[in-house]
Every structure is written in structure tokens, then in C-alpha cells.
């Protein structure tokens, strides 16, 4: 089981997003002739490509639309990596107890515990492959494991929702 939060996604997205933002800002400022020392008529594209873009202006619009869609997909990915849009607060103590309680079971990929909502519910999420012993996982969860997590995270009166996701 992995309990470590990987930040490579976030760093990679931030670097790519920063570079794209810088290039876009440069192109925009150059097109408006706000950069001193650079001619707005200076060649950026090869002559053949510039002629093709001049003859078929729709190509530039399709390219701009494609870049806009790509940037929206990257923004959504970044926001999901940052945890925005997820409900509740992650509890490391609950996740650690869950992982310790399920340590004998092989194949669990992901585990997490969150406290959600104003009425404070406990949300337990597990992900395992189809080859894992799901019966053993459910047996452990139906035992005292969810109760121990509930008592440790709060006063023991939280409602709990347990989600076991089995991947193919």
C-alpha cells in the first residue's frame, strides 16, 4: 500500500503551465508591439508555414481552439491533483489505522479516510485489483476496523461510508 503523497504530477503540471503561460504572454505582447526592440513584422514562422496560415486562416483558429482545450484539461488535472473539488478533510491517523488493519491482505493499491460534511461522516475508500481477496477485505472492515477508526478520529458516533473499488 502506498501512503505517500506523490508531488511529481503537481510539479510537472506547474512547470509546463508556467512555460506555456510565459510563451503565450510573450506572443501576445509581441503581437501588440509592447516589447521594445522587437519588430512586430519580424519573422517567427518559416515562409512556407506563414503563407499557409495566411491562405487558410481557419488553421490558426483550430490551433487556438486546440490549445485552449489542452489548457483546460491541464487546469482540471492540476486542480484534481491539488485536491480541490474533493469533499472533507483527509485524516492521516484514520488512513494509517486502515493500512495497519489491512496489512495482511495483498494487493490493496490505495486507501484513504476522510471526514466529510457538516454532520461529520467518515468516508473510507479502498482500491484493489480483481485478483485481491475482496472477501477478506470486507471481513476485516465489517469486524472492528471501521469502529476503531471511528473511535480514533472522533468520539465514535460518526456515520461511516465504506467504498471498495475493484479494478479489472
Residue 3 has a pLDDT of 40
- Interval 66-88: pLDDT, tens: 989 988 988 887 787 777 766 77
Q: How confident is the model at residue 91 (pLDDT cuts 50, 70, 90)?
A: confident
Regarding whether 93 and 48 lie in a shared domain, the answer is: no
- Interval 31-62: pLDDT, tens: 787 877 766 666 777 788 888 888 998 988 99
Q: Does some domain include residue 2? A: no
Q: Does some domain include residue 13? A: yes
Chain mean pLDDT for the chain: 81
Regarding whether 97 and 49 lie in a shared domain, the answer is: no
Regarding whether 159 and 94 lie in a shared domain, the answer is: yes
Confirm if 127 and 109 have CB atoms less than 8 A apart.
Answer: yes
Residue 94 pLDDT > 70: yes
Q: What is the CATH number of the domain that holds 156?
A: 3.30.300.20
The structure's pTM equals 0.52
Specify the number of domains making up the chain. Answer: 2
Percent of the chain with pLDDT over 90: 8
Regarding whether 45 and 68 lie in a shared domain, the answer is: yes
Q: How confident is the model at residue 25 (pLDDT cuts 50, 70, 90)?
A: very high
Look at the chain and count its residues: 168
Domain range for residue 51? 8-81
Regarding whether 76 and 47 lie in a shared domain, the answer is: yes
Regarding whether 135 and 68 lie in a shared domain, the answer is: no
Regarding whether 62 and 93 lie in a shared domain, the answer is: no
Residue 18 has a pLDDT of 92
Residue ending a domain, choose from 54, 81, 108: 81
Residue 156 has a pLDDT of 65
Residue ending a domain, choose from 33, 53, 81: 81
Mean pLDDT of all residues in 14-19? 87
Amino acid at each position: 500500500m502506498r501512503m505517500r503523497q506523490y508531488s511529481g504530477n503537481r510539479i510537472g503540471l506547474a512547470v509546463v503551465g508556467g512555460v506555456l503561460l510565459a510563451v503565450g504572454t510573450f506572443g501576445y505582447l509581441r503581437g501588440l508591439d509592447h516589447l521594445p526592440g522587437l519588430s512586430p513584422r519580424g519573422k517567427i514562422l518559416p515562409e512556407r508555414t506563414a503563407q499557409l496560415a495566411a491562405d487558410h486562416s481557419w488553421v490558426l483558429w483550430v490551433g487556438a481552439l486546440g490549445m485552449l482545450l489542452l489548457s483546460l484539461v491541464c487546469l482540471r488535472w492540476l486542480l484534481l491533483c491539488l485536491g480541490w473539488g474533493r469533499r472533507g478533510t483527509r485524516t492521516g491517523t484514520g488512513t494509517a489505522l486502515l493500512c495497519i488493519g489491512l496489512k495482511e491482505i495483498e494487493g490493496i493499491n490505495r486507501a484513504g479516510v476522510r471526514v466529510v460534511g457538516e454532520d461529520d461522516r467518515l468516508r473510507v475508500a479502498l482500491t484493489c485489483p480483481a485478483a485481491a481477496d475482496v472477501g477478506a477485505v470486507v471481513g476485516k472492515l465489517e469486524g472492528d476496523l471501521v469502529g476503531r477508526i471511528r473511535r480514533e478520529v472522533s468520539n465514535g458516533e460518526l456515520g461511516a461510508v465504506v467504498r471498495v473499488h475493484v479494478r479489472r
